[in-house]
Amino acid sequence: MDNLIPFFMKAIQKEDIHRPPFWLMRQAGRYLPEYRDIRKQAGSFLNLCYTPEYATEVTLQPIERYDFDAAILFSDILVIPDALGISVTFKEGVGPVLPHIPEDSLSDYANKLKRISLQKDVLDQTLSPVYKTVENVRCTLPKDKALIGFCGAPWTVLLYILEEKPSKGCERTRGLFYTHPEIVQTYTDALIEASVHYLSQQIESGANVIQIFDSWAVHVPATLFETFIQKPLYTLCKRLKKKYPHIPIILFPRGLNQEQLKRLVFERNSCFDVLSLDYTLDMTWAHNTLQDHICLQGNMDPAVLLSTPEKVKEEVLRLLSLMMQKPGYIFNLGHGILPQVPLKNVEILCHTIQNWHK
Ligand code: CP3
């Protein structure tokens, strides 16, 4: 399996390569007309995630159109709560909606999730179509391209379970921690348990690389960084590394500051391999401080793709000239590609990277 993905792996192994491997977060999505067609046929978003024929097709669409070096499995971070019995729906124009858990049920709910997380056959009743998608994609994807499997970080998924809108903050979760830390720990343990299983099954089905999205790390108070971010991520990564030492793990902890990122990298004890940086971070700092110690991914502002082809080219070249001075770089955006991006600009981005030569 190791030799299936030479090019993507070369960057992670810090080999000297003439251009970086590249892919875009949310590359399978609404900016593609062929995605919107399948999305319409599928009806609901989760039906798209849970129907291997559809999910396989949309995973491969961006590779066929743009020849990215990696495909990312089409699924969502919220299939984990869904599999744990918290039914998730996606409302048009609103986003994900999860049922409200009343205050006096928070503890019972946590215990219930913990119980279900240990019943792998129950999880797989919901998740097995996703494994089938991974298998299908790996069969069709050219051998020199990587297939990235993924899940959400425990903290980020917990916010979707406990908060009405994670984008608005995490007061309820923090408050619960100060009064009942053991309840928060039970939720976290359940999410780690389910995620290790989910990722293991993706790897068994053919995923070559794993990315963990901690999209709401930005909300964590400094005093709880270790509790909510560092410890759960390390536990998840270590458990996975123990089973699959050869599978590289990418972390995307959105919104952390430089000191926190340094701690994550320097204290990681090889439990993850790539740090994906969001667009608020200064890549010159990352290049000078982190790139000798870990492979970096990122971080072009996704809004650059809303501008002109000339500007796109200029920004891509700026990033490549900086980051390709050292080995260990994967090109990506600093967050997901926006639905309103013109296809022409994505094409320019791809050509600029594909034709780059050190
Ligand atoms: O191409 C890919 O990256 C693979 C598929 C993928 C999706 N979601 C599909 C999706 C991945 C990796 C995700 C991860 C995900 N999902 C994250 C972490 C990454 C990030 O953006 O920070 C988060 C926070 C979610 C939760 C989620 N899913 C939200 C908040 C929303 C609604 C907002 C939106 O963009 O619509 C979704 C829906 C979703 N997930 C869509 C897609 C393509 C759009 C739904 C549609 O097509 O109707």
Confidence of residue 1 (pLDDT cuts 50, 70, 90): very low
CA-nearest residue, atom 25 of ligand 1: 77
pTM listed for this prediction: 0.97
List C-alpha distances in Å: 317 to 111, 306, 313, 314: 51, 17, 6, 5
Instruction: Locate the ligand 1 atom nearest the alpha carbon of residue 78 and give its number.
Output: 26
Ligand 1 pocket, 225 CB below 6 A? no
> Best of 31, 50, 60, 77 to mutate for ligand 1, by most ligand atoms within 8 A of CB?
77
The pLDDT value given to residue 135 = 98
Residue type, 248: P
First CA to last CA across the chain, in angstroms?
29
Are 127 and 136 a contacting pair, CB within 8 Å?
no
DSSP designation for 222 = G
DSSP designation for 85 = T
Ligand 1 pocket, 76 CB below 6 A? yes
The pLDDT value given to residue 2 = 47
Q: Residue 208: which of 261, 157, 248 has the closest Cα? A: 248
Confidence of residue 358 (pLDDT cuts 50, 70, 90): confident
The pLDDT value given to residue 5 = 56
Average pLDDT over the chain reads: 96
